[in-house]
Amino acid sequence: MEKKDIYEHLAKIYLENTPAYKGNKSKAEDYKIYIFVGIAVVIVVSSLFLIPFSHNPSNSLTTMVLAPDPVKINYKFNPVKKEMYSFDLKRLNIAGYTALAFSLKKSNYSDIVSMRVEFQSIFKERSEVYVTDVPGKWKEYTLKFSDFKNISEWAAMSGLIFSVEEWNTKDNKGIVYIDNVRFIK
């Protein structure tokens, strides 16, 4: 090898500054640019497609979701007198919210069912509201906190209980579904 060849070889390796390398470099860079632009376009398009699905309006700042999936109260009153589903609120401060919202439906269309909704505070305060005539199809309910008369302080709640009582049903067995339980402002 001559000195010139050695110099060009060293320049190609270390300096990447020879005319022969610049021609190859632009082709290599073109491919890298095309790949980079292609990947960027795929990312942007996929993120634009997914943005509308990622926002759940029920999880906004004005809502606190307790149960996004349906829960089931399967009651059979023999000899039991009451069936319930409870949420442990663990001293939750819900003073900034104004209402409890949820959806209900029953499994037996011919049954007449009333649902008891009860709040408990850490101060041993209890208050309940009855939802009468639970329908056979999903129905949305909103209960204002002011309807729960015996709760004076909403800053430290210990429990939320949904219950079906024997004296509030026509049949002694059935299922009540509760869905999308949340606090709203």
pLDDT in tens, 41-60: 878 777 666 655 444 444 44
d(CA 55, CA 52): 6
Report the amino acid identity of residue 25.
K
Do 50 and 68 reside in the same domain of the chain?
Answer: no
Do 27 and 67 reside in the same domain of the chain?
Answer: no
Q: What is the pLDDT of residues 87-143, one digit of tens each?
A: 999 999 999 999 999 999 998 888 889 999 999 999 999 999 999 989 999 999 999
- The pLDDT, as a whole number, for residue 44 is 77
Do 172 and 108 reside in the same domain of the chain?
Answer: yes
Do 9 and 75 reside in the same domain of the chain?
Answer: no
If you average pLDDT over residues 3-32, what whole number do you get? 63
CATH number at residue 85: 2.60.120.430
- The pLDDT, as a whole number, for residue 4 is 72
- The pLDDT, as a whole number, for residue 51 is 57
- Cα-based distances in Å from 19 to 15, 16, 28, 38, 107: 11, 9, 15, 29, 80
Cβ-contact 159, 91 below 8 angstroms? no
Do 33 and 92 reside in the same domain of the chain?
Answer: no
pTM comes to 0.64
Do 118 and 167 reside in the same domain of the chain?
Answer: yes
Q: How many domains does the chain have?
A: 2
Do 163 and 74 reside in the same domain of the chain?
Answer: yes
- The pLDDT, as a whole number, for residue 171 is 83
- The pLDDT, as a whole number, for residue 1 is 64
d(CA 109, CA 101): 23
Do 106 and 158 reside in the same domain of the chain?
Answer: yes
Do 111 and 163 reside in the same domain of the chain?
Answer: yes
What confidence category does residue 27 fall into, taking pLDDT thresholds of 50, 70 and 90? low
Do 48 and 96 reside in the same domain of the chain?
Answer: no
d(CA 142, CA 185): 11
Task: Say yes or no to pLDDT of 26 above 80.
Answer: no
Do 69 and 21 reside in the same domain of the chain?
Answer: no
- DSSP for the chain, please give it: --HHHHHHHHIIIII---HHHHHHHHHHHHHHHHHHHHHHHHHHHHHHHHHHHH--GGGSTTEEEEESS-EEEEEE-SS--EEEEEEEEEEE--TT--EEEEEEEES-TT--EEEEEEEEETTS-EEEEEE-S--SS-EEEEEEGGG-TT----SSEEEEEEEEEEEEESSSEEEEEEEEEEEE-
Q: Which domain holds residue 36?
A: 3-54
User: Of 19, 36, 54, which residue sits at a domain end?
Assistant: 54
HSE, CB side, 13 Å, CA atoms: give it for residue 172. Answer: 6
Do 42 and 21 reside in the same domain of the chain?
Answer: yes
